[in-house]
């Protein structure tokens, strides 16, 4: 019998979506539904792990296994899920506050270990769920509820940080271009290793609708002149200040993933155990 072809609709759930009308996260959700269909992942083989925040509600809106975890902890839990069930596709998701502030330590170590999962960060430069406080990616000088005189800090650059840490796949998308974002999620999921997909996903309530215009005006889609296997080119792109790079910025293959390393260790431990027990046995007979 022919397998049933799944469509984006099959990955929707009946959970009511409580985001503000116009929130950028709707575009990300649509891209995730479409990417899952394109990859033909049976829902029972897909897991979406999220942290806490507006965007972290996304797990409930995807027909898959879902785990809405604790603040900043999506990555270690997603890594654990992948270790326990390496045959599953694991997506981690959340916002810039969740991933780049509370969860920074996990961001660092998940990249270092090259866990085989796709991390979709809905970067809106603000804490939306708690009503508009400064986040690690809020631009310097911006007025927020918690920085009425302007943000005194310089923003964190997640693309540059991931590159320095040795991430094996780094991309940036825009929730206002669902098709392009879908393709990035598909590529990130097919990549064997940790894939960061930072998404410019405006918070219309606390940063305004003009954020979509900002990305449309300053976004530059990377074309064939950009070689994602070239670290230096990728580095240059991550340092752009006026333009916003969109596309696959960096990608290398062949770096062992955490689940591969763990499987090798298990195998070695089994061999060692076998060797030791054989030695003990021989000792008895001599
Ligand atoms: Fe989206 Fe901002 Fe509303 Fe949260 S507060 S749902 S991020 S628009």
What averages of pLDDT result for each successive group of 10 residues across the chain (286 residues)?
86 98 98 98 97 97 97 98 96 98 97 98 98 98 98 98 98 98 98 98 98 98 98 98 97 97 92 80 69
d(CA 94, CA 113): 20
β 169-174/244-251 pair status: antiparallel
β 89-95/118-123 pair status: parallel
- Going by the DSSP 8-state scheme, the letter that residue 155 receives in this structure is P
177 and 283: one domain?
no
CA of 7 to the centre of ligand 1 (A): 27
Question: For the domain that residue 56 is a member of, what is the CATH number?
Answer: 3.40.50.970
Q: Is residue 1 part of a domain?
A: no
| Predicted pLDDT at 150 | 98
The end-to-end CA distance of the chain, in Å, is 61
CA distances from residue 171 to 20, 95, 174 in whole angstroms, order as listed: 26, 16, 10
d(CA 35, CA 21): 23
- Going by the DSSP 8-state scheme, the letter that residue 154 receives in this structure is P
Q: Is residue 2 part of a domain?
A: no
Cα torsion angle, 258, 29, 142, 222, sign: positive
d(CA 184, CA 225): 18
Domain count, the chain: 2
103 and 128: one domain?
yes
| Predicted pLDDT at 105 | 97
CA of 23 to the centre of ligand 1 (A): 5
Q: Is residue 3 part of a domain?
A: no
Q: Could you tell me the pTM of the whole model?
A: 0.95
CA of 204 to the centre of ligand 1 (A): 6
Question: Range of 75's domain?
Answer: 8-254
Q: Read off the tokens for 39.
A: 């990859």
| Predicted pLDDT at 285 | 64
Q: Is residue 113 part of a domain?
A: yes
184 and 216: one domain?
yes
What three-state secondary structure class fits 30? helix
Q: Which of 54, 58, 135, 145 has the most ligand 1 atoms within 8 A of CB, as the residue to mutate?
A: 54
């Amino acid at each position: 019998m022919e397998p049933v072809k799944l469509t984006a609709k099959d990955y929707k759930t009946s959970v009511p979506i409580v985001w503000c009308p116009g929130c950028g996260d709707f575009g990300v959700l649509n891209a995730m539904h479409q990417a899952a269909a394109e990859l033909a992942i049976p829902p029972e083989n897909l897991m979406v792990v999220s942290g806490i925040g507006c965007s972290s509600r996304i797990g409930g809106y995807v027909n898959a296994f879902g785990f809405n975890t604790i603040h900043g902890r999506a990555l270690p839990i997603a890594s654990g899920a992948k270790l326990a069930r390496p045959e599953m596709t694991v997506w981690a998701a959340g916002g810039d506050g969740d991933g780049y502030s509370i969860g920074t330590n996990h961001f660092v170590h998940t990249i270092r270990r090259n866990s085989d999962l796709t991390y979709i960060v809905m970067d809106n430069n603000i804490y939306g769920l708690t009503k508009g406080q400064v986040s690690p990616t809020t631009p310097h000088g911006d007025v927020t509820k918690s920085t009425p005189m302007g943000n005194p800090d310089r923003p964190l650059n997640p693309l540059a940080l991931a590159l320095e840490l040795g991430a094996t796949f780094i991309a940036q998308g825009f929730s206002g271009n669902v098709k392009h974002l879908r393709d990035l999620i598909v590529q990130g999921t097919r990549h064997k290793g940790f894939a960061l997909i930072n998404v410019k996903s405006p918070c219309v309530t606390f940063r305004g609708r003009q954020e979509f215009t900002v990305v449309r005006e300053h976004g530059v889609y990377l074309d064939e002149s950009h070689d994602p296997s070239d670290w230096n080119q990728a580095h240059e792109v991550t340092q752009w200040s006026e333009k916003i790079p969109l596309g696959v910025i960096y990608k290398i293959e062949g770096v062992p993933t955490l689940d591969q390393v763990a499987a090798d260790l298990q195998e070695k431990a089994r061999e060692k155990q076998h060797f030791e027990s054989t030695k003990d046995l021989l000792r008895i007979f001599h």
